[in-house]
Amino acid sequence: MLPMPEHDPTRTDRMALYMRARAAEKAAREEAARVVEQWNASLAAGQGSMRSPTIRAAILAGMPWLDIYCPGCRTSRAIDIRTVDRHPLSSVGSLVLGLRCSWCPGSAPMPVLTGLHAFPSAAGRNELSG
């Protein structure tokens, strides 16, 4: 006896699979947005944060613009973390180690991360070199 050929999934099965995938994507986006918003609130309150979202979470949340403040020259800038060559599971906070202000002479101070946003801030049209 020959084995029964596998059947293609029915339209209902395909639709159910599609709906489950969309629901999972939506839940992941909502969770990422929640994590990024909590981190932003912590930074805004001046509490800092030992934990920061991953680059992937920031991008998934639709907030790929990282605002950075340079205490040396007192300027704020924004960088698009989608263009940074780092693993997506790296934390956003780990990026500060590779950033230095290009406007500060000599040994520039460590920049301060001020938040993630959907669009670059009005003050942040220039980028720190990284």
Over the stretch 99-128, which tens digit does the pLDDT of each residue have?
A: 888 888 777 888 999 999 999 975 544 444
Helical H segments across the chain, by residue range:
11-44, 55-60
**Cα(100)–Cα(120) distance, rounded to whole angstroms?**
18
**Cα(112)–Cα(72) distance, rounded to whole angstroms?**
10
Question: Is pLDDT of 129 > 60?
Answer: no
b/e burial code for range 93-106 (CB count within 10 A of at least 16 → b): bebbeebbbeebee
Write down the pLDDT at residue 122.
55
* Segment 34-85, tens digit of pLDDT: 999 999 999 999 887 778 999 999 999 999 999 999 998 898 999 999 999 9
pTM above 0.85, yes or no: no
CA 67 to chain centre: 12
**Cα(76)–Cα(68) distance, rounded to whole angstroms?**
6
**Could you give phi then psi for residue 79, rounded to 5 degrees?**
-125, 150
Q: Looking up tokens 């999934």, which residue turns up? A: 9
